[in-house]
């Protein structure tokens, strides 16, 4: 695509060519006049054979005018022309009416053909849809069966798990109830017996086994009980200690009182003090009682909480009962569902069994029908063989009769010859005067010889090779034998002693010799019968062979090599967009497959700024100048129906924007892939990209895509998979891969998994002083480096081989071998990844940037079609240059010899005279004028037969 490098390494842009048709001034004048009047005329050239006069008749529906051009002598034929003007007018009208009728009939025929094609396509679609629906139904039935079995297993497992959970829940509920009862008992004992340590142990043991709610309640109960009991104990100890101290003080006061009383002091003071102390003790006792009341209230509260805990336990039990009931309901529902599904499954199985039985019956019926057909075919073949044998017997009998007839005729001929010989011997004495003459009788033929010059007489007897001169005719008359004169009277002829020879006619003799039946012969019917039987036998043999053919072996496809035996056809040129191209290519699918092509390279399918497709914009819009998306899919289906791979021409290096940025730069993309300036490389000088620097060369006509961006690679991989899965492409032709790294190509190929991939890595060859250098290793090394960067997942066009062939085929065949004895292109270093070609839409077609030499075209195809690598055939050469059959013959030679992309090659000669190489084990080819034959070569073993012989251009031999 785009710009292509010329042999002198000068870069050219895309040139526009306009067709130029020279016209006669007289025609130009008429055309200009008619164009001004907006009328269309058709020119018919009528010639009147008198002097040299040409009559131009111009017809425009209901108008006609006639002009006469005089010859050089000044003769005017106007009067004569005017005389026949009416006849010409009538003829013109009749002709135009006939043409109109013919056009109408042709249009109607085209419409009928289109309707027929559409009906056939619809029938095929209906059949495909029925088959697809049947397959989908079977797959859905199988998936439903597997889904039912899976759900059944899951429901059974769920049932067992629910049962086990229910048992565990029951056990947990019982344990929880027992623990709560124990906890209540322990709490009651703690509140009544004030045994703190025992309560702590029981509460701590209960905490480890109780539920979360009971655990919290137990903790609250423990904290409240501990605080209450500790406060009660402390208050009790304090009260008892105070009571003891008060008692001691009271005892001392009593002693003092007694002493005082005894001593005679007043006791009332002491009593008052004792009463005060008693009042204090009574207050302390009241405080202790109030504290005990609080403790009792706390115990009551704890009892209420225990009762609440018991209610919660009852609620838990009720929930467990409800859960068990729900489980039972679920089990019942699952049982009903399982039974319903079993019923549905049974009905489906019954339906499947019925379908299988019907299918089995149909298959057995079809098998019986095929068996009957085969038996009938065998019987017919037997009858054919028997009829053939009978026809041969009848033929032999007829030939024997004809032979006997010819033998009888020969016998009669010999008898008459002997009779003539005896008559001649009797007259020999009369001819003794010609002493030098000798009559030799040889099987009825008389040879006149002489002793002196026998060869001259033999020549005279055999007949001259040119007109006989008069002197020779006189000499012959002088030496001819004296035969009796011709008898004109019947009576005189009967009375004569000479008898005429009644020999068979020449037609009869040659009809017997050539075994040709004559009109009226009874053998004609047998011949016709034999031919009819032979045609029927061949048809039956083809039918049997077609039935007995096995399915072809599955071919292993690799994106870099395909099957290894690919022959690619470039199915377009630079001007193909001007026609309904997808429809044309669909019509050529059968012919391409018949000729041996295995893959077809279609033009870029996306919407493009340039009609050729190499300036893409919306990648998901496949309505291009070549046709609509539906036409593209139909074309791909037609190619697939002929077992042809379809390669899509994808442009990944650049993409044209849909909108301008605020500063007026076209770098905003639209469509499904709405990218922005971040998807453009930053070193593209024209489009202000904000991505990373480019990993290759810059294509200046459109924004260069930044493949280092993750979202860009993700979108491209999704698009390629869409083209593969939804549209139907099998592989890619990658445009301008020099613009980005081959590692990205590897990622795209691994994601889309194409059957075959070709990269266009276009680079300039090495030239020195205007001439092509012999050593082009650096050029092919750059292509090999790119292939290696892709990990070998893609092939590349062998541009090195194309450039070398331009010069080598002009008696410089020494350019076709390198210093290691290998081919000088990429073919010599990595043949399985080399895609050889002579021209494409850029180098040839109407662009003509670097066309292949026209007179060396067939030598070039003889080279690439018989050598390793993957050859590419250009559309123009195959269909427009008239070498369709010649290329097909070379493809057949490649197929018979088993040549593939990795075939070995041994070059025997490469000099100014020509080029000779053996490819594989079964093919030898020669280019050039020198005399060479594989049978004369000591190093070539085996028997070789010439398959193609084009004289001094090229020759191809195949091993027997």
Contact status, residue 183 vs residue 210, Cβ threshold 8 Å: yes
CA distance 635 to 597: 16
Vertex 791 angle, CA 787 and 797, to 5°? 20
100 sits in which H/E element: helix 85-193
Q: State the residue for tokens 């030496």.
A: 479
- Tell me how far the alpha carbon of residue 724 is from its chain's centroid: 9
Phi, psi at 691, each rounded to 5°: -90, -160
Q: How far is CA 245 from CA 150, 249, 281, in A?
A: 87, 6, 11
Q: What are the percentages of helix, strand and coil residues in the chain, rounded to 5?
A: 55, 10, 30
How is residue 241 annotated by DSSP? H
With CA atoms as reference, report the closest residue to 860 among 930, 806, 903. 806
Contact status, residue 731 vs residue 754, Cβ threshold 8 Å: yes
DSSP β-ladder status, 53-60 and 63-69: antiparallel
SS (H, E, C) 872-886: EEEHHHHHCCCCHHH
Q: State the residue for tokens 């870029």.
A: 604
760 is catalytic: yes
Tokens representing residue 918 in the block: 């053996």
Per-residue exposure over 23-57, b if at least 16 CB sit within 10 Å of its own CB, e if not:
eeeeeeebeeeeeeeeeebeeeeeeeeeeebebbb
Choose the catalytic residue: 566, 607, 715, 735: 735
CA distance 191 to 198: 11
Q: What is the Cα gyration radius of the chain? A: 57
DSSP β-ladder status, 731-735 and 757-759: parallel
284 contact partners, CB below 8 Å, separation of at least 6: 239, 242, 243
Tokens representing residue 252 in the block: 């001392």
Q: State the residue for tokens 């050529």.
A: 588
Q: State the residue for tokens 């053909």.
A: 113
CA distance 909 to 796: 28
Q: Is residue 899 exposed (0-12), middle (13-18) or buried (19+ Cβ within 10 Å)?
A: buried
How is residue 487 annotated by DSSP? P
Contact status, residue 603 vs residue 610, Cβ threshold 8 Å: no
CA distance 233 to 723: 91
Per-residue exposure over 699-721, b if at least 16 CB sit within 10 Å of its own CB, e if not:
bebbbbbbbbbeebbebbbebbe
Q: State the residue for tokens 């390494």.
A: 9
Query: 10 Å Cβ neighbour count for 466?
Result: 5
Contact status, residue 69 vs residue 96, Cβ threshold 8 Å: no
Own/partner pairs, 584-592, CB within 8 angstroms, 24+ separation:
585/635, 585/638, 585/639, 586/634, 586/635, 586/638, 586/639, 587/638, 588/879, 589/638, 589/639, 589/641, 589/642, 589/644, 590/642, 592/639, 592/642, 592/644
Choose the catalytic residue: 566, 760, 839, 953: 760
CA distance 61 to 39: 10
441 sits in which H/E element: strand 437-442
Catalytic amino acids?
735, 760
């Amino acid at each position: 695509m785009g710009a292509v490098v010329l042999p002198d390494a000068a870069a050219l842009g895309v040139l526009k060519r306009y067709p130029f048709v020279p016209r006669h001034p007289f025609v130009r004048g008429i055309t200009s006049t008619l164009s001004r009047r907006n009328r269309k005329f058709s020119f018919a050239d009528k010639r009147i054979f008198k002097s040299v006069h040409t009559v131009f008749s111009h017809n425009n529906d209901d108008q006609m005018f006639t002009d006469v051009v005089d010859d050089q002598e000044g003769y005017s034929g106007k009067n004569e022309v005017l005389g026949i003007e009416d006849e010409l007018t009538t003829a013109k009208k009749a002709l135009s009416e006939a043409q109109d009728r013919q056009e109408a009939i042709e249009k109607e025929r085209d419409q009928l053909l289109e309707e027929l094609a559409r009906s056939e396509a619809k029938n095929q679609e209906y059949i495909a849809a029925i088959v697809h629906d049947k397959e989908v139904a079977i797959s859905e039935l199988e998936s439903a069966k597997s889904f039912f079995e899976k759900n059944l297993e899951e429901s059974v497992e769920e049932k067992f798990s629910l049962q086990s959970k229910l048992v565990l829940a029951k056990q947990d509920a019982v344990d929880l109830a027992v623990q709560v009862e124990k906890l209540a008992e322990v709490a009651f004992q703690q509140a009544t017996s004030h045994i703190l340590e025992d309560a702590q142990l029981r509460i701590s043991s209960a905490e480890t086994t109780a539920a979360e709610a009971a655990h919290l309640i137990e903790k609250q109960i423990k904290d409240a009980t501990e605080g209450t009991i500790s406060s009660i104990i402390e208050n009790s100890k304090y009260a008892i200690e105070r009571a003891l101290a008060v008692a001691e003080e009271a005892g001392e006061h009593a002693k003092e009182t007694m002493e005082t009383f005894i001593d005679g002091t007043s006791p009332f003071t002491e009593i008052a003090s004792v009463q005060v102390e008693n009042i204090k003790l009574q207050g302390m006792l009241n405080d202790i009682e109030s504290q005990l009341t609080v403790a009792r209230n706390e115990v009551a509260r704890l009892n209420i909480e225990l009762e609440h805990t018991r209610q919660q336990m009852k609620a838990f039990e009720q929930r467990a009962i409800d859960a068990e009931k729900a489980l039972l309901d679920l089990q019942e529902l699952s049982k009903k569902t399982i039974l319903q599904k079993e019923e549905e499954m049974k009905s489906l199985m019954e339906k499947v069994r019925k379908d299988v039985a019907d299918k089995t019956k149909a298959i057995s019926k079809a098998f019986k029908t095929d068996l009957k057909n085969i038996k009938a075919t065998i019987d017919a073949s037997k009858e054919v063989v028997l009829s053939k044998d009978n026809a041969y017997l009848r033929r032999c009998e007829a030939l024997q009769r004809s032979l006997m007839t010819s033998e009888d005729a020969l016998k009669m001929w010999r008898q008459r010859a002997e009779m003539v010989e005896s008559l001649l011997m009797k007259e020999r004495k009369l001819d003794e005067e010609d002493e030098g003459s000798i009559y030799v009788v040889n099987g009825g033929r008389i040879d006149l010889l002489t002793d002196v010059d026998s060869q001259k007489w033999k020549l005279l007897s055999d007949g001259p090779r040119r007109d006989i001169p008069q002197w020779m005719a006189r000499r012959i008359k002088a030496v001819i034998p004296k035969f009796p004169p011709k008898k004109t009277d019947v009576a005189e002829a009967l009375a004569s002693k000479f008898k005429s020879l009644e020999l068979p006619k020449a037609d009869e003799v040659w009809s017997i010799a050539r075994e040709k039946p004559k009109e009226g012969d009874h053998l004609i019917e047998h011949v016709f019968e034999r031919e009819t039987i032979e045609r029927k036998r061949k048809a039956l043999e083809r039918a049997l062979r077609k039935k007995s053919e096995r399915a072809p072996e599955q071919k292993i496809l690799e994106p870099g090599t395909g099957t290894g035996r690919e022959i690619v056809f470039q199915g377009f040129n630079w001007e193909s967009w001007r026609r309904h191209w997808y429809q044309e290519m669909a019509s050529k699918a059968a012919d391409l497959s018949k000729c041996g092509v295995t893959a077809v390279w279609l033009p870029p399918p996306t919407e493009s700024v340039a009609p050729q497709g190499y300036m893409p914009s919306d990648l998901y819009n496949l309505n291009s100048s070549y046709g609509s998306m539906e036409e593209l899919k139909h074309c791909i289906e037609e190619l697939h129906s002929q077992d042809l791979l379809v390669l899509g021409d994808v442009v990944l290096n650049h993409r044209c924007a849909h909108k301008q940025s605020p500063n007026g730069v076209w770098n905003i993309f639209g469509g499904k892939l709405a990218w922005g300036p971040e998807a453009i490389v930053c070193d593209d000088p024209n489009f202000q990209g904000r991505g990373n620097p480019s990993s290759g060369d810059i294509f200046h006509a459109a924004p260069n895509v930044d493949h280092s961006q993750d979202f860009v690679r993700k979108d491209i991989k999704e698009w390629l998979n869409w083209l593969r899965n939804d549209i139907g492409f099998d592989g890619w032709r990658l445009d301008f891969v020099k613009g980005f790294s081959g590692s990205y190509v590897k990622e795209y190929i691994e994601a889309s998994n194409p059957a075959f991939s070709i990269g266009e890595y276009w680079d300039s060859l090495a030239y020195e002083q205007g001439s092509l250098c012999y050593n082009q290793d650096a050029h092919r090394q750059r292509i090999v480096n790119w292939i290696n960067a892709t990990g070998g997942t893609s092939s590349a066009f062998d541009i090195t081989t194309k450039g070398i062939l331009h010069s080598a085929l002009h008696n410089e065949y020494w350019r076709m071998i390198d210093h290691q004895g290998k081919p000088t292109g990429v073919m010599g270093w990595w043949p399985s990844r080399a895609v050889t070609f002579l021209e494409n839409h850029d180098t040839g077609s109407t662009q003509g940037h670097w066309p292949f030499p026209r007179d060396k075209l067939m030598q070039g195809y003889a080279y690439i079609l018989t050598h390793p690598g993957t050859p590419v055939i250009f559309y123009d050469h195959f269909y427009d240059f008239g070498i369709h059959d010649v290329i097909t013959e070379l493809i057949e030679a490649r197929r018979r010899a088993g040549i593939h992309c990795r075939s070995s090659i041994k070059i025997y000669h490469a000099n100014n005279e020509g080029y000779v190489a053996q490819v594989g084990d079964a093919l030898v080819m020669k280019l050039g004028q020198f005399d060479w034959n594989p049978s004369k070569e000591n190093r070539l073993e085996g028997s070789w037969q010439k398959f193609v012989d084009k004289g001094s251009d090229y020759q191809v031999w195949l091993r027997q």
